[in-house]
Amino acid sequence: FPVLVCIRFPAPFLQGLIPWWFLWFCRVRAGDSGWLPWRARGRRCTLPAWPSPRATAACPRSASNPRTGVRLRFICLEHASRLGRFPMERICSLSDQMLCSTARNPSGRPRDKLDKSYEFNSHLTISFSETSGGIPHCFPQFGPGPMQQHGFARNVNWSITDSEVTEGDPTVTLELKDDSYSRSMWDFSFQALYKVVLHSTSLSTTLKIINTDDKPFSFTSALHTYFSASIAGVSVKGLKGSKTLNKDPDPKNPLEGKEERDEVTFPGFVDCVYLGAPSELTLDNGLGDKIVISNTNWSDAVLWNPHLQMEACYKDFVCVENAKRLKQYNWVQKNLGWQSRKLNLSEANGLRTVQCGEYVVKGPFYVSANVNMCHSPMYFNL
Ligand SMILES: O=P(O)(O)OC[C@H]1O[C@@H](O)[C@H](O)[C@@H](O)[C@@H]1O
């Protein structure tokens, strides 16, 4: 009975009467958070505030995936409160199908070292190798290359350094620093800062790479943006005249060329790097949305759709990626940095990205990064 009271009638006054550990216990039993590792580590973390009725209405706690029929649970409100001032109502109002979840990383090992199965919210199991989506970070290598494809930044835990509201827009900054895992592949000391701002109808992201080593280093990078789409109707405008490195058929020996088309379409497999791409591209996602992708300092772009290599879902998404110097490395001296300034995605009806794998989840903003909160590994998606 007390468990039910906690979950179903979480009136604020109740929280004041019930000890924090009892509320924690209720939530664990309910499977609401799935995994609260600070307890296991002997740490106590402030319990999240209960969602306000307004927020609850704006962001349903579960929804069925129209494609698979799988019922998904949303726990974004808990994340909102853990982020302190981060107003999740605002984020939720951007979509009713946004997934924000914790995931379980029992061993604390980097994701690429985990077994195939990864637990989401203790209700969903997704297969890592088949899962793509959101805006993974390709750093310090946009593959292929000497280290793992697209580098290690998308596989490891980032931490939240700041969350605030800037001129009414929720903003969160994530940080990644070198550790023994990154040094085993790339022996440099660095700091990467990733700032995400949710404007009312657009998303902007800034990636900053700072060399904290004694020696200069070089890197290549990309923000691997997945958009949901109806691939037969997709076109990208703005690339005419750019130099191309076509990774089809051999990604390790891309063919040099020049884009002659006003609109690039996706009739089959596409994997192409555009060198010196313009600072603004327009994506028609084939679903009735025109998405403007503008940037500063991302010198290159990548278009990718796997076609039959991902038969189950290739029709539902397209990647239009901002990238940095994919032919020539970027040298960064000690204490100096490179900043991408802005990847600004905007369009009238909101954005969608797709997660492709065992489950397909569509939502307007699906920014994924592993973050550390309360010294526990969590998987955070906006
Ligand atoms: O499967 P991954 O590692 O996420 O990469 C997906 C694709 O990402 C694109 O950016 C690359 O150009 C492709 O070559 C690659 O296949």
CA 232/CA 284 separation, integer angstroms: 11
pLDDT in tens, the chain (382 residues): 454 444 434 444 444 555 555 545 544 333 333 222 222 222 222 222 223 333 333 333 333 333 333 333 333 333 333 333 233 333 322 222 222 222 223 333 333 322 222 222 222 222 222 235 556 788 899 988 888 888 888 766 666 677 666 776 666 677 889 999 899 999 999 988 888 776 655 667 788 888 888 888 888 898 887 776 789 999 999 999 999 999 999 999 999 999 999 999 999 999 999 999 998 898 888 877 778 888 888 889 999 998 988 776 788 778 899 898 776 666 777 767 777 766 555 543 333 433 333 222 333 333 333 332 222 222 233 2
What does the domain layout of the chain look like in residue ranges?
A: 137-326+350-362
**Choice from 271, 272, 298, 308 to test ligand 1 binding pocket (greatest atom count within 8 A of CB):** 271
What per-residue confidence (pLDDT) applies to 264? 98
pLDDT in tens, 175-185: 889 999 899 99
Active-site residue flag, 224: yes
- Under a CB-based contact definition with an 8 Å cutoff, are residues 48 and 81 in contact? yes
Instruction: Report the separation in Å between the CA atom of 29 and the middle of ligand 1, taken as the mean of its atom positions.
Output: 39
Tokens of 299: 């010198």
CA of 57 to the centre of ligand 1 (A): 37
Residues 312, 272 contacting (CB under 8 angstroms) = no
CA atoms within 13 A on the CB side of 268: 2
Tell whether ipTM is more than 0.95: yes
Rounded (5°) CA angle 188-136-381: 120
Identify the residue whose C-alpha is closest to ligand 1 atom 4.
Answer: 132
Q: Say which of 78, 224, 259, 347 is annotated catalytic.
A: 224
Q: Which atom of ligand 1 is nearest to the CA of 222?
A: 10
Q: Tell me the CA–centroid distance for residue 141 and ligand 1, in Å.
A: 12
d(CA 240, CA 258) in angstroms, rounded, equals 8
- Per-residue pLDDT reduced to its tens digit, 87-120: 333 332 222 222 222 222 333 333 332 222 222 2
- Look at ligand 1, atom 3, and give the residue with the nearest C-alpha: 149
In the reported structure, the alpha carbon of residue 305 is separated from the centroid of ligand 1 by a whole-number distance in angstroms of 9
Please enumerate in sequence order all residues whose Cβ is within 8 A of that of 205, keeping only pairs 6 or more positions apart, or say none: 135, 194, 195, 196, 197, 223, 340, 342, 343, 367
Residue 136's pLDDT is: 72
Q: Which atom number of ligand 1 is nearest to the Cα of residue 132?
A: 4
Residue pointed to by tokens 């369009």: 347
Q: Are 372 and 364 in contact (CB under 8 A)?
A: no
Pocket of ligand 1 (CB under 6 A): 132, 149-150, 224, 247, 251, 271, 302, 304, 319, 321
The whole-model pTM stands at 0.65
Q: Would you state the CATH architecture of domain 137-326+350-362? A: Distorted Sandwich (2.70)
> Quick one: which atom of ligand 1 is closest to the CA of 136?
4
Measured in Å, residue 91 CA sits from the centre of ligand 1 at 28
- In the residue annotation, 256 being an active-site residue is answered as no
- The neighbouring-strand residues paired with 350 are none
* pLDDT at residue number 70: 35
